[in-house]
Structure 1
Amino acid sequence: MPTSPRTTTPQAADPYHEPRRENCPWCGGERLRTRARAAAPGRRGPGTCVMDECRDCGHAFQNPRFTVEGLALYHRDFRAARNPSPRAVRRRHRAAARTVLPLAEPESWLDVGTGHAGFPEAAREVFPYTSFDGLDPTPRVEQARLAGRVEEAHIGDLTNPWILPHLYARYDVVSMFRHLEHIPDPRAELRAALTALRPGGHLLLELPNPQSAFALLLGRRWPPYRQPRHLHLPPLANLCAELENQGCDILTTDRRTLSSHTYRIVARKPTEPS
């Protein structure tokens, strides 16, 4: 269940940080510990990013969380940063698409947080007869539609009440790749994804492994422009439990195909209301 934040009031107004939480946003537990700090990249950043972990459920989250203004600086630096090899990304996307191959032959697929729709473009090699749509908060998805990488482009957030009703029960598969960790309310995003799925449809998630992320941060091997974008680092067990609470069946979990730095979940929405 979502928890109300217990916060401490900052001594001075900070345009880049929200008030610090004193409880876990996932379970409400108050036994928090700081696991990692990442210094701001460059000289224009809004300060240090702190990741706390709940000792009760293992959920990790940015605390205090950056405001919209603070995140905007990091998103700017992230877009300007060097991206991974396109060939490696395409190979990873094809491997992710193949996890659905033994489970379904989808007619329609929505990729959430699709950006320029690199995943739909690669996944079409695995599913040539599937119709791929994309959703993204930026106009990049419209550019992807014009380039033919998706058939429909939706600009905005999945939980937006003006968008979600148009997506209700439309898709056989909804995918989120390295997306859920950037969302202020991951539970609401999961519920919205299940709303967009048809009964019996499949949800495909890929997220960072929190323990690996902490190891990279402590070893100063995580590029500093990436970390502040991660608002949450939920453990695999927490997400599986949440999906099961929503009535889903967990079909596969995988930490090995990519690396220990990530994990992947494929879940099936119930065919009848739970």
Structure 2
Amino acid sequence: MNRADQVAARRPRYQDDLSRGVARFFQPRRTDCPWCGSGQLEVRLRTPDLLQHKPGRFILERCRDCRHTFQNPQLNHDGLEFYYRDFYDGLGEENLATLFRGRDRSYRLRAGAVTPYAEPETWLDVGTGHGHFCDAARAVLPRTVFDGLDISAGVESAQQRGWVRRGYRGNFVGLAGELAANYDVVSMFHYLEHSTDPGEELAAAHRVLRPGGHLLIEVPDPQCRFGRLLGRWWLPWLQPQHLHFIPVGNLSRRLTELGFTVVAEEHAEPHDPVDLLTAAWLAVSSLAPRRDEPWFAAPPGRVRRVLRGTVLAAGIPVTTAGWLLDRLLKPVAHRAGLSNAYRILARRDDR
């Protein structure tokens, strides 16, 4: 089935969802910080969906006391299903798979972050998607057995391909009892920001690890200066999917409270030099007419299709300049406060 037929087949369901409005996709707005409980909140960002262009407006608020940033009001279960639909799977699966396939070097570097501290026999990658990290990491850790966990069907295909020994499909917090004390390493690469309750996820990781095991976390850094300079065009805000942005100090303290010891913290190496490129792309694409998607009532006509191609072509010099600047800035990104992600390795030391 070609893409036009897939869009047409999905349109009735989307139109039925939207006929009831998008307000039903949100929980009531919080008046306190979900991380520290403070009532000192301020709006940090208001934005539409800049990637899929699904209807809705989203707000990120920041706690003045602990600096935790979170989506408020937060999507509920139905909202998460609606906005995730056709992003990582369905219509978006091929594009995302292409992106993940091209990142083997970064996957190997992530695996290598553990080797100075441990030689794991078993490793669980939470939020593994289609298992690309586990497949690439075997080049660094050939004796380690990798399992994957995800809510999407991608983890099942990862098991079928042999990229993971076992693919668990479901909610990590719900499966933690079944997996208790089974793993030497648990990894969460750009996973915590998607979770509705990061504290519960960290507690689940503690439960799944053996004493002495390691938890490896990589998340967007909300203290990155690009977040302020680029505003809504900063890709790591990724609304509406990213629900929580945790400053590194907050995460370190919470891990310590749970019985972990932080053994490594990295900012320079996890930085992905794409901030200006993606900001340029998001800005240009926001000016172009939309392509056919099932959440729009009807497909665009010929004139709008031609205009879209023209606008995107005109934006190529802008995105190219962004790509070049990202690479020029990469060697100094950490020193300039421009690293867009950080990584923490913590050891479970309690018994």
The reply to whether TM is greater than 0.5 is yes
8 A contact 2:32–2:39 mirrored in 1: yes
Unaligned runs of 5+ in 2: 1-20, 272-338
Residue 66 of structure 1, CA deviation: 1.5
| Match status 1:45 vs 2:54 | yes
8 A contact 1:35–1:214 mirrored in 2: no
8 A contact 2:48–2:55 mirrored in 1: no
Partners of 2:52 and 2:161 lie apart in 1 by 37
| Match status 1:90 vs 2:104 | yes
Partners of 2:120 and 2:243 lie apart in 1 by 31
Distance 1:166 1:37, change over 3 A: same
TM-score by length of 2: 0.69
Amino acid at match of 1:112: V
Tell me what 1:265 maps to.
344
Tell me what 1:8 maps to.
none
Deviations 1:176-211 (Å, cap 9, x if unpaired)? 000011111111110111111010000000000013
| Match status 1:105 vs 2:119 | yes
The structure with the greater share of residues assigned to helix is 2
Amino acid at match of 1:234: I
| Secondary structure of residue in 1 paired with 2:128 | coil
Partners of 1:268 and 1:110 lie apart in 2 by 15
Partners of 1:13 and 1:72 lie apart in 2 by 12
Tell me what 1:215 maps to.
228
Within 5 Å, which residues of 2 pair with 1:24-35?
Answer: 24-35=33-44
Residue 267 of structure 1, CA deviation: 0.2
Residue 89 of structure 1, CA deviation: 1.9
| Secondary structure of residue in 2 paired with 1:109 | strand
Q: Return 149-158 or 73-82, whichever deviates more.
A: 73-82
Amino acid at match of 2:346: A
| Match status 1:178 vs 2:257 | no
8 A contact 2:48–2:58 mirrored in 1: yes
Deviations 1:214-270 (Å, cap 9, x if unpaired)? 33651624288x321011001110010000111211000111002101000000001
Unaligned runs of 5+ in 1: 1-11
Amino acid at match of 2:347: R
Residue 166 of structure 1, CA deviation: 2.1
Larger gyration radius, structure 1 or structure 2: 2
Distance 1:13 1:100, change over 3 A: closer
Within 5 Å, which residues of 2 pair with 1:1-274?
Answer: 14-41=23-50, 45-79=54-88, 80-81=91-92, 82-83=95-96, 85-86=99-100, 88-160=102-174, 163-212=175-224, 214-215=227-228, 218=231, 220-222=233-235, 226-259=238-271, 260-270=339-349, 272-273=350-351
Partners of 1:252 and 1:216 lie apart in 2 by 28
Deviations 1:125-179 (Å, cap 9, x if unpaired)? 100010101111122111100100000111111111xx22221101000000000
Amino acid at match of 1:199: P
Partners of 1:202 and 1:133 lie apart in 2 by 15
| Secondary structure of residue in 2 paired with 1:210 | coil
TM-score by length of 1: 0.87
Tell me what 1:9 maps to.
none
Amino acid at match of 2:160: L
Share of identical aligned residues, percent? Answer: 44
Partners of 2:189 and 2:22 lie apart in 1 by 35
8 A contact 2:46–2:232 mirrored in 1: no
Residue 92 of structure 1, CA deviation: 1.2
Partners of 2:105 and 2:150 lie apart in 1 by 22
| Secondary structure of residue in 1 paired with 2:178 | helix
Distance 1:75 1:134, change over 3 A: same
Partners of 1:158 and 1:146 lie apart in 2 by 20
| Secondary structure of residue in 2 paired with 1:15 | helix
Partners of 1:220 and 1:100 lie apart in 2 by 33
Residue 71 of structure 1, CA deviation: 2.4
| Secondary structure of residue in 1 paired with 2:118 | coil
Root-mean-square deviation (Å)? 2.2
The structure with the greater share of residues assigned to strand is 1
Partners of 1:197 and 1:42 lie apart in 2 by 36
Partners of 1:252 and 1:44 lie apart in 2 by 38
